[in-house]
Amino acid sequence: MSTLPVALTAPRDLVTGSEFSSAQIRELFHLAASVKARPERYRSALAGRFLALIFEKPSLRTRVTFEVGMASLGGAAVFLDHQGSRLGMRESVPDVARNLERWVHGIVARTFSQSTIEELAAHAAIPVINALSDRFHPCQALADFFTLEEHFRNLKDLTLAYVGDGNNVCHSLLLTAARLGAHLRIATPKGYEPDAAVVAEARRAARDSRAKIELLHDPAEAVAGAQAVYTDVWASMGQEAEAATREKIFAPYQVNEALFALAAPDAVFLHCLPAHRGSEVTAGVIDSPRSLVYQQAENRLHVQKAILLALLS
């Protein structure tokens, strides 16, 4: 069984993503690279450990990568489907947390409300991992920047343009970029900017890492010369009633061939998936050789395995 890098002193939970310092993220990436290159070294690293997966929302990448990741580390995962009955409806969230802590060694929660994850973490004596909420998606952002570092080698000189809705993915990109010293430009329609409190927190962290954060409304200005261009769906899960309205408002923010052509010659395209070809991105961009969307999806597995090792070992 492999041991964790000595320098990695992980927090107890991954609730917002701000729990990990810049140094801890670097160590997490080092561990993820090791897990990816030599998975056989970690086959029994979490033997005898059990993970509860609580999902209020549908999932492909998140569920599969956590289940496969846990199994490949020698542990096991138990899936709790809460798509028909949200946490807190049948019994209180604190009661769920206090029961699970007696049976399993960690909780992965994919919920509508960020407060649900925070409540689980407050009442469970075991690690709680945010697998997506209405406010943050830390596992995705960590996998995204791991993918960018893998491709470009250096994040300090990298400019990432995010075009679209100031949503949970945008928030997590902000917090992660700020800790890693990247340059993040965000272009959203007016009224759809990322939350001001998250931006303020990111800017505080950016002072130490010398990261640059720009909030813009012009997608062309954000993409110009960028090494990576990122977008996400215009209406997230739970916002289906707004989809038609958002389609009109966000139309100028589509990442199409003309917009992508403004990026650096070696620029890559990123998307957390699932994608709607013809809406936030054209098929010509997402299916091009410069798209890293499936590398991102693969790296969810390796980065989440590193998270599990860090928090459950």
Clarify whether 137 is annotated catalytic.
yes
Could you confirm whether 110 is annotated as catalytic?
yes
Closest of 243, 15, 196 to residue 123, by C-alpha: 15
Q: Rounded to whole angstroms, how far apart are CA atoms 177 and 306?
A: 19
**How far is 174 from 3, CA to CA, in rounded Å?**
31
Catalytic residue among 179, 232, 254, 271: 232
**178 CB contacts (<8 Å, ≥6 apart)?**
184, 201, 202, 203, 204, 205, 206, 209, 211, 213
State how far the Cα of 121 lies from the Cα of 283, in Å rounded to an integer: 40
Assess contact for 62 and 132: CB atoms under 8 A. Answer: yes
Query: Of 114, 140, 254, 296, which one is the catalytic site residue?
Result: 140
Catalytic residue of the set 179, 183, 271, 300: 300
| 105, 137, 246, 271: the active-site residue | 137
Angle at CA of residue 274, ends 252 and 285, nearest 5°: 50
Query: Token pair for residue 143?
Result: 């996998």
Candidate list 13, 246, 271, 272, residue with the active-site label: 272
Q: Cα(22)–Cα(259) distance, rounded to whole angstroms?
A: 32
Q: Which of 175, 186, 178 is nearest to 231 (CA)?
A: 186
For the question of residue 232 being annotated catalytic, the response is yes
Which one from 110, 171, 183, 271 is the annotated catalytic residue? 110
Which residues face 212 on adjacent strands? 183
Active site residue ranges: 110, 137, 140, 232, 272, 300
